[in-house]
Every structure is written in structure tokens, then in C-alpha cells.
């Protein structure tokens, strides 16, 4: 289980400080001429600003009924159109090819294996129109950070602790009141390999949402790729 429904009740608190990615994804959507798709849409945290800024619907896939229910009510309250589908991102299939597929907040890391990610990247490649883009972000594993955070308890934003499992390249986020969310980290070369096998081309790799270059101090991979 990579995503526990227990997180849905806390999601707004959990994601309250994550705002810097929104202009990045909104700008990509504004530049995209055609259908917009968010993988693992969650509560609509990014999809709603994207739909509002573009004036266009956003197709949002997620496996969590509780998160989709949050997105549905938030989208209605915001007056935007979200086409929400209870679908695993590994099974992405669209009637009309997309101009932009994006996956914020490290959600691709909820896929446990290379095979899961390869399937997803291949589905994305098959779902993009020529010139269509695929953008996502994921944390860059840093052993100093892992050593510091492993086993640490935090009260904010929701009481939880982090547990690293290096043999499985996995970090578990355990809520004090129950529920575990797991993320399987990946290296830059794994991401580039996924683009390669899916036949997608790398457009840009940044080290943050200010679009600074990836350096040894970067903690995030911010990728933009496209179908040629
Ligand atoms: C950290 S939230 C991200 C939500 C949203 N994209 C955002 O940026 O706020 C992770 C989401 O991934 C979803 N998820 C996990 N595995 C998934 C899968 N295989 N297919 C689709 N959604 C998945 C979870 O249900 C959850 O809503």
C-alpha cells in the first residue's frame, strides 16, 4: 500500500506549505495547446489553479476515492471543471491525446518498482500528442538528509515520523494516529532511463521550481520532457 486513505483527512494541512510548484505547472499548462492531464490529482491542489488559469478542464486520475472526493468538492467550490477518474496512473488511457501530462508533489514515487514506472511512462508517451509535454518532480535522495531524518518524529504539519529502508529505496511516512504512505526514491539516471525506454526526450531538468540548475545542493528533480 503506497498511499493510505488516512492521509486524505489531513491532506490540506500536510500540503499547506507546498505552493511553489503551482506557478511552474500553471505556466506549462498555459503554454499547452490541448488536453491537460494530472496524474495522481489528489485533492486538486494543483489541478484547480491550472483549470482556473487556463479556463480549461483538467483530467485528473487518482486511485484514492477519498482524495477524489476532496478534489470534486474543492473543484465545485472553485467553479472549475475537473474530469476526475478513479484510475491508476499505470493505466492512463485517453480518448484524445494530451498536450500536457504532469505529476506534481513526488507522486510518481508512490509507484514501487521500475516496471510500474516504465508502464506509466509508456502510457504517458502513448497519450501525448507530438510536441506534448510530460512534467513531474521528485525528491533527490541525499544520504545526509536520510541519516538526519530517519526515525525522526515531527509534530508539524501533522504528527508523524519518517523511516528509511535503504535496501528497498523506500521512505515510509507514518502518521501517529495510523496510516503509512510510502515513497520509493529514484536517481537521475533512473528517470532518464525511463524517458529513454518510453521514447520521450528530455527538455529540461531543474533543481527547484525557481528553475535553477540541478547541483549537488539540490533536493528536488524538476523534469520537463516531450514527445518529439
Ligand atoms: C502526495 S499526493 C499528490 C496529490 C496532488 N497531485 C498534489 O500535488 O497535491 C499523492 C496522490 O497519489 C495518489 N496515488 C498513489 N498511487 C497512485 C497510482 N498508482 N495511481 C494514481 N494515483 C495514485 C494518491 O491517492 C494521492 O492522492
Domains and CATH numbers, the chain: 5-141+187-226 (3.40.50.150)
Question: Does the Cβ of 58 fall within 6 Å of ligand 1?
Answer: no
DSSP the chain: --S-GGGGGGHHHHTTT--THHHHHHHHHHT--S-EEEES-TTSTTHHHHHHHHTS-EEEEES-HHHHHHHHHHHHHHT--EEEEE--GGG---SS-EEEEEE-TTGGGGS-SHHHHHHHHHHHHHHEEEEEEEEEEEEPP-HHHHHHHTT-EE-SSSSEEEEEEGGGTEEEEEETTS-EEEEE---HHHHHHHHHHHT-EEEEEESSTT-PBP-TT--EEEEEEE--
Question: Does the Cβ of 42 fall within 6 Å of ligand 1?
Answer: yes
Strand partners for 182: 172
Q: What is the pLDDT of residue 1?
A: 64
Question: Does the Cβ of 62 fall within 6 Å of ligand 1?
Answer: yes
The model's pTM is: 0.97
Q: List the chain residues with pLDDT less than 50.
A: none
Q: Which cell numbers hold the place of 130?
A: 507530438
Q: What is the pLDDT of residue 2?
A: 85
Which one of 48, 50, 107, 135 would you pick to mutate in the ligand 1 pocket, going by the greatest count of ligand atoms within 8 A of its CB? Answer: 107
Question: Does the Cβ of 3 fall within 6 Å of ligand 1?
Answer: yes
Which one of 66, 93, 110 would you pick to mutate in the ligand 1 pocket, going by the greatest count of ligand atoms within 8 A of its CB? Answer: 110
Q: What is the dihedral of CA 156, 158, 161, 162, to 10 degrees?
A: -90
Rounded to whole angstroms, the maximal C-alpha distance in the chain is: 47
Which one of 4, 18, 28, 42 would you pick to mutate in the ligand 1 pocket, going by the greatest count of ligand atoms within 8 A of its CB? Answer: 42
Locate cell 539540490: which residue? 218
Amino acid at each position: 500500500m503506497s498511499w493510505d486513505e488516512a492521509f486524505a483527512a489531513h491532506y490540506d494541512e500536510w500540503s499547506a506549505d507546498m505552493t511553489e510548484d503551482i506557478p511552474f505547472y500553471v505556466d506549462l499548462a498555459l503554454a499547452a495547446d490541448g488536453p491537460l492531464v494530472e496524474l495522481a490529482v489528489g485533492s486538486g491542489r494543483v489541478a484547480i489553479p491550472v483549470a482556473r488559469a487556463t479556463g480549461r478542464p483538467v483530467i485528473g486520475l487518482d486511485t484514492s476515492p477519498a482524495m477524489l472526493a476532496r478534489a470534486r468538492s474543492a473543484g465545485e467550490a472553485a467553479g472549475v471543471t475537473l474530469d476526475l477518474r478513479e484510475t491508476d496512473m499505470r493505466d492512463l488511457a485517453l480518448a484524445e491525446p494530451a498536450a500536457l501530462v504532469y505529476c506534481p508533489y513526488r507522486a510518481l514515487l508512490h509507484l514501487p518498482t521500475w516496471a510500474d514506472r516504465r508502464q506509466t511512462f509508456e502510457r504517458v508517451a502513448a497519450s501525448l500528442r507530438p510536441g506534448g509535454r510530460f512534467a513531474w518532480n521528485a525528491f533527490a535522495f541525499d544520504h545526509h538528509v536520510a541519516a538526519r531524518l530517519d526515525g525522526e518524529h515531527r509534530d508539524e504539519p501533522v504528527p508523524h515520523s519518517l523511516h528509511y529502508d535503504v535496501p528497498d529505496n523506500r521512505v515510509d511516512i507514518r502518521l501517529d494516529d495510523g496510516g503509512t504512505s510510502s515513497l520509493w526514491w529514484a536517481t537521475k539516471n533512473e528517470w532518464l532511463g525511463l524517458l529513454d525506454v518510453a521514447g520521450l526526450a528530455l527538455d529540461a531538468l531543474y533543481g527547484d521550481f525557481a528553475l535553477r540548475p540541478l547541483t549537488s545542493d539540490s533536493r528536488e528533480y524538476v523534469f520537463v520532457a516531450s514527445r518529439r
